[in-house]
């Protein structure tokens, strides 16, 4: 009988010890809630809206952390939930910094692509991958994408360009050499069209290197180096593209 009484007393004390912290926490939560409601009623409409947003965020974070602390939620899920609750504030922070960051983003976008244009076609070079793509601007294949044309169609276009515009022919041969490695141009014709002596304007030079009007010397040299690493004849490029890239660098550096 005495043993049963001792066990009963131990269990009761243990229960009271476990319940006391919960009661204290519950009272604190209740007191905080009453105080928050009291303060909320004294605010004007604009302040109430701001308080409501903050209250939702704090409540969401508290619930997630509470679940994680009691072992009912994995800590990774808790961290993700807390970050999700703070997402609106993070978005506002990014939007506030965007005016200062946008020039760097635009510069990065500009430096991703090089473009060259001739009478019959325009050609774009991806400065990150080295891939070429383009569009026919004139002739029987006008409007077609170079990357969607067969080798036979490209040869037809090349013949048309050779008859009417040497610069277009040189640009197209550069594309065909890069994207169709098995195709080989006639050696005499290739050397003839590669020796381009036409003048290059400032805008054409900027398009070739993919730099903006505000580009500094360092950016011009960096863009030239990046392009030459992709388009050098020893790396699958062509003599004509190398000539154009070098010419663009010379034009822009002289203008500084």
Quick one: pLDDT at residue 234?
Answer: 81
Residues 91 and 143 in one domain: no
CB 238 within 8 A of CB 178: yes
pLDDT confidence bin for 3, thresholds 50/70/90:
very low
Residues 131 and 242 in one domain: yes
Residues 76 and 115 in one domain: no
Residues 69 and 145 in one domain: no
Q: Which of 106, 124, 156 is the last residue of a domain?
A: 106
The helix (H) or strand (E) run that includes residue 31 is helix 2-41
Q: Which of 106, 139, 161 is the last residue of a domain?
A: 106
pLDDT confidence bin for 192, thresholds 50/70/90:
low
Residues 6+ apart with CB under 8 A from 81: 60, 61, 64, 73
DSSP state of 71: T
Q: Which stretches of the chain are assigned E, i.e. beta strand?
A: 113-117, 121-126, 132-136
| 246: CATH | 1.10.287.110
- Does the pLDDT of residue 125 top 80, yes or no? yes
Instruction: Give φ, ψ of 136 to 5 degrees.
Output: -80, 130
CB 231 within 8 A of CB 237: yes
Alpha-carbon distance of 227 to 148, in angstroms, equals: 24
Residues 100 and 115 in one domain: no
Residues 183 and 96 in one domain: no
Average pLDDT, the chain: 76
Q: What is the pLDDT of residues 59-89, one digit of tens each?
A: 666 665 665 566 555 555 555 655 665 666 6
Lowest mean pLDDT among 149-158, 177-186, 193-202: 193-202
Alpha-carbon distance of 145 to 133, in angstroms, equals: 7
Residues 174 and 235 in one domain: yes
Q: How far is CA 203 from CA 75, 148, 196, 199, 252, in A?
A: 55, 28, 18, 12, 9
Percentage of the chain exceeding pLDDT 70: 57
Residues 148 and 246 in one domain: yes
Give the domain extent around 237: 111-255
CB 240 within 8 A of CB 171: yes
Residues 21 and 147 in one domain: no
User: Structure pTM?
Assistant: 0.56
Residues 22 and 70 in one domain: yes
Residues 99 and 119 in one domain: no
Instruction: Please report, in angstroms and rounded to a whole number, the separation of the first and last CA atoms in the chain.
Output: 102
Region 29-40: mean pLDDT is: 71
- Of 7-16, 40-49, 152-161, 192-201, the range with the highest mean pLDDT is 152-161
Q: In 3D, which of 188, 198, 148 has the Cα closest to residue 168?
A: 198
Alpha-carbon distance of 238 to 232, in angstroms, equals: 6
> For the chain, what is the domain count?
2
Residues 91 and 144 in one domain: no
């Amino acid at each position: 009988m005495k043993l049963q009484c001792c066990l009963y007393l131990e269990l009761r004390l243990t229960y009271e010890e476990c319940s006391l912290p919960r009661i204290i926490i519950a009272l604190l939560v209740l007191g905080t809630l009453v105080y928050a409601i009291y303060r909320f009623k004294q605010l004007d409409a604009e302040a109430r809206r701001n308080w409501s947003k903050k209250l939702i965020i704090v409540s969401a974070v508290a619930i997630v952390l509470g679940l994680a602390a009691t072992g009912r939620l994995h800590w990774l899920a808790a961290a993700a939930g807390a970050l999700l609750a703070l997402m609106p504030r993070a978005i506002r922070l990014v939007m506030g910094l965007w005016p200062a960051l946008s020039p760097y983003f635009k510069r990065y976008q500009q430096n991703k692509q090089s473009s060259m244009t001739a009478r019959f076609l325009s050609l774009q070079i991806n400065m990150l991958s080295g891939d070429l793509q383009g569009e026919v601007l004139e002739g029987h294949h006008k409007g077609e994408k170079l990357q969607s044309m067969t080798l036979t169609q490209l040869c037809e276009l090349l013949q048309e360009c050779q008859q009417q515009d040497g610069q277009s022919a040189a640009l197209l041969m550069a594309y065909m050499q890069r994207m169709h490695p098995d195709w080989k141009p006639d050696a005499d014709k290739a050397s003839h069209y590669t020796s381009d002596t036409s003048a290059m304007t400032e805008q054409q030079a900027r398009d070739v290197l993919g730099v903006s009007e505000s580009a500094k010397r360092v950016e011009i040299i960096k863009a030239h180096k990046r392009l030459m690493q992709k388009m050098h004849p020893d790396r699958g490029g062509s003599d004509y593209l190398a000539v154009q890239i070098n010419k663009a660098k010379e034009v822009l550096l002289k203008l500084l």
